[in-house]
Amino acid sequence: MNATSALMDSIYRHQRHFYDFTRKYYLLGRDRLIAELAPPEGGIVLEIGCGTGRNLIKAAKRYPHALFYGLDISAEMLMTAHTEIKRAGLEDRVKVAQADAADFDAAALFNRAAFDRVFFSYSLSMIPDWEGALARGYAVTAEGGRLVIVDFGEQKRLPRWFRRLLTWWLTLFHVAPRAELGPALEELGSAELKPLHGDYARLAEVPRDLRSQVAT
């Protein structure tokens, strides 16, 4: 597809087989995001950078009245997502497709133009054009809906040695916590940014104003 998809495939080609088992110990806040998602009855939800489909499957089980969509740039990750969605018997309510978060056409991919909930879970820190992806995510959030994000924070309240170790580890995986996330969200509207576990991670929420206009 492009250089990012080749890079992501190279990172995840082997890791996708043990990704879900290992990441549960350090991608913190994902279950809280799912618990707070609360889509409306008959609502539709999009995850941008859905990886193995772990969040989509958990959310679909928790909210049986909603439909779920996911996109990811890595064909390797999507192979695992397809297998797991099928294994969970959720093919009718969870659909995934390959696309770039910063440049996708939701109507062409899923026959849907806007979603009641749109979320990014530990993907903005890996997406090179994360600001473009954020704008795109907000643009496909339905009026009255919500854009939700969980990702690494700046670990400001954690010991310096821990910050250094984590930064080294994340760099190995081409992960860059987005220090500018707060200001970028504020430009979109009344964002709420909650630090989790001493700012190890951040959970943010931006309601899509009924009258807001963002260029797509």
Q: What is the DSSP string of the chain?
A: --HHHHHHHHHHHHHTTTHHHHHTTTSTTHHHHHHHH-PPTT-EEEEES-TTSHHHHHHHHH-TTSEEEEEES-HHHHHHHHHHHHHTT-TTTEEEEE-BTTB--HHHHHS-S-EEEEEEES-TTT-TTHHHHHHHHHHTEEEEEEEEEEEE---TTS-HHHHHHHHHHHHHTT----TTHHHHHHHHSS-EEEEETTTTEEEEEEE--TT-----
Q: How many other C-beta atoms lie within 10 A of the C-beta of residue 157? A: 11
* Residue from the set 84, 100, 116, 205 that interacts with ligand SAM by CB under 6 A: 100
**205 near ligand SAM, rule: CB under 6 A:** no
**77 near ligand SAM, rule: CB under 6 A:** yes
**74 near ligand SAM, rule: CB under 6 A:** yes
- Residues 6 or more apart in contact with residue 143 via CB below 8 angstroms: 114, 208, 209, 210, 211, 212
* Residue from the set 45, 63, 67, 72 that interacts with ligand SAM by CB under 6 A: 72
**4 near ligand SAM, rule: CB under 6 A:** yes
**94 near ligand SAM, rule: CB under 6 A:** no
* Residue from the set 44, 73, 90, 94 that interacts with ligand SAM by CB under 6 A: 73
CB of 79 to ligand SAM, least distance (A): 11
**33 near ligand SAM, rule: CB under 6 A:** no
CB of 120 to ligand SAM, least distance (A): 7
* Residue from the set 34, 59, 90, 126 that interacts with ligand SAM by CB under 6 A: 126
**151 near ligand SAM, rule: CB under 6 A:** no
**49 near ligand SAM, rule: CB under 6 A:** yes
**43 near ligand SAM, rule: CB under 6 A:** no
The footprint of ligand SAM (CB under 6 A) covers 4, 8, 23, 27, 30, 49-51, 54-55, 72-74, 77, 100-102, 121-123, 126-127
